[in-house]
Copies of this chain bind each other. A is one copy, B any other.
Amino acid sequence: MTNQLQFDQIRLPPECQRLREDVRAFIADEVAAGTFVPDRPSHGDTHNRAFSQRVGAKGWIGMTWPKKYGGHERSFLERHVVTEEFRVVNAPVRLHFVADRQSGPILLKYAPEHVKQDILPRICRGELCFVIGMSEPNSGSDLFAAKTKATKVDGGWTINGSKIWTSNAHIADYMLGLFRTSPATKENRRHGLTQFLVDMKTPGITVNPIIQMTGQHDFNEVVFDDAFIPDDHVLGEIDGAWKQATSELAYERSGPERFLETYYVLAELVRALGPDPDLRSAEGLGRLVAQLHTLRRMSVSVAGMLQAGKEPVVESSIVKDLGTIWEQKLPERVRDLSAFLEPDASNRVTLDEQLGFAFKIAPKLTIQGGTTEILRGIIARGLGLR
């Protein structure tokens, strides 16, 4: 093994913990004002334009970006703190989160200057919702099988085809999409795709909802019928998106949102068990705490390594692999550990309701943003096996 696994030991600096207090105070105010109910992900909306704008006003979107684009030039560690504090209370960040995590950094890297000037500050103010247009009906994990076509026309491109599983498309302002501008070549099947910035208000774009098994509307099909994209919305190299797509996914891989998505059932279990659990419950809880603590320390470490300019590709894939499996199995563990609680206990109903929700969303956790099998393939490549 040439590359050893590395997890730098990061101690969150005092400014991070001061920031954490600010975030908690903000959350407390929002909860008091009725914006959302903490620990109850099944209640209320997961997106809230006004809330996102208030988050933007606090300076908590685009935190690591340059000030000249509305960013705040703060550290990845500070961003980590904001992300985990919001995630752990199920704050309705859905509107701005994708833009903050993925789309903004891509625009920063590949968009023309005037586009950056126009769009990035609005993201930072919490005004824009972005979606990712990658998957198609016949290409899921295999991004490079995308067929939806961008045809060169005067001053831009017209898009025809469809994208699927696009979360938030029904509330989105922009999509970052991957479209076919040339056929793949024999030598390189990943050739021929180009990344575009797509204004979702463009004529010729239709968004069809896909209802999830939870009953929620999150996924969509986005159909393009001669939708026009101007030339200056091409991001990066024409036909060369494959060079950009890997680094793009890296942003997705190891944030605290990758293991905290079902956290509420664990917090509720602690509440339900009370201060003096029996040996069985104490041991089970203790193992879950140790596993979660470890995941969090790994994730903090990755944030620190990003801040130091390193590229912890394998480490971040490992955090996501371990993290998503853990958060997926967590409802099972909590069900077992709560099996002998009194049925009349006051928070039994709350816990059961939370468990029900967690069980229903659990299947998607190891699929979205790179399946378990894909992640392990990336890890194996990093180990030198592929």
Which A positions have Cβ atoms within 8 angstroms of B?
Answer: 278-280, 283, 340
Secondary structure class of chain A's binding surface, majority of residues = helix
Closest-by-CB residue of B relative to A282 is B280
Task: Give the residues in chain B near A340, CB-CB below 8 Å.
Answer: 279
5 pairs, CB–CB < 8 Å, chain A vs chain B: A278-B279, A279-B279, A279-B280, A279-B340, A280-B280
Task: Give the residues in chain B near A280, CB-CB below 8 Å.
Answer: 278-280, 283
Interface hub of A278, A279, A340 (most chain B Cβ within 10 A)? A279
Closest-by-CB residue of B relative to A339 is B283
Task: Give the residues in chain B near A279, CB-CB below 8 Å.
Answer: 278-280, 340
In the complex, A340→B278 CA distance in Å? 13
Interface hub of A278, A280, A283 (most chain B Cβ within 10 A)? A280
- Nearest chain B CB to A285 CB, angstrom units: 12
| Total copies of the chain | 2
In the complex, A158→B89 CA distance in Å? 76
- Nearest chain B CB to A332 CB, angstrom units: 13
Task: Give the residues in chain B near A278, CB-CB below 8 Å.
Answer: 278-280
In the complex, A280→B284 CA distance in Å? 10
- Nearest chain B CB to A339 CB, angstrom units: 8
Closest-by-CB residue of B relative to A336 is B283
In the complex, A74→B278 CA distance in Å? 52
In the complex, A278→B282 CA distance in Å? 13
In the complex, A185→B340 CA distance in Å? 63
- Nearest chain B CB to A338 CB, angstrom units: 13
In the complex, A76→B280 CA distance in Å? 42
Further 5 A-B residue pairs, CB within 8 A, beyond A278-B278, A278-B279, A279-B340: A278-B280, A279-B279, A279-B280, A280-B280, A280-B283
In the complex, A340→B283 CA distance in Å? 11
- Nearest chain B CB to A290 CB, angstrom units: 14
Closest-by-CB residue of B relative to A278 is B279
In the complex, A280→B281 CA distance in Å? 8
In the complex, A283→B280 CA distance in Å? 9
In the complex, A206→B123 CA distance in Å? 77
Task: Give the residues in chain B near A283, CB-CB below 8 Å.
Answer: 280
In the complex, A283→B284 CA distance in Å? 13
Closest-by-CB residue of B relative to A283 is B280
- Nearest chain B CB to A322 CB, angstrom units: 19
- Nearest chain B CB to A97 CB, angstrom units: 38
In the complex, A280→B279 CA distance in Å? 7
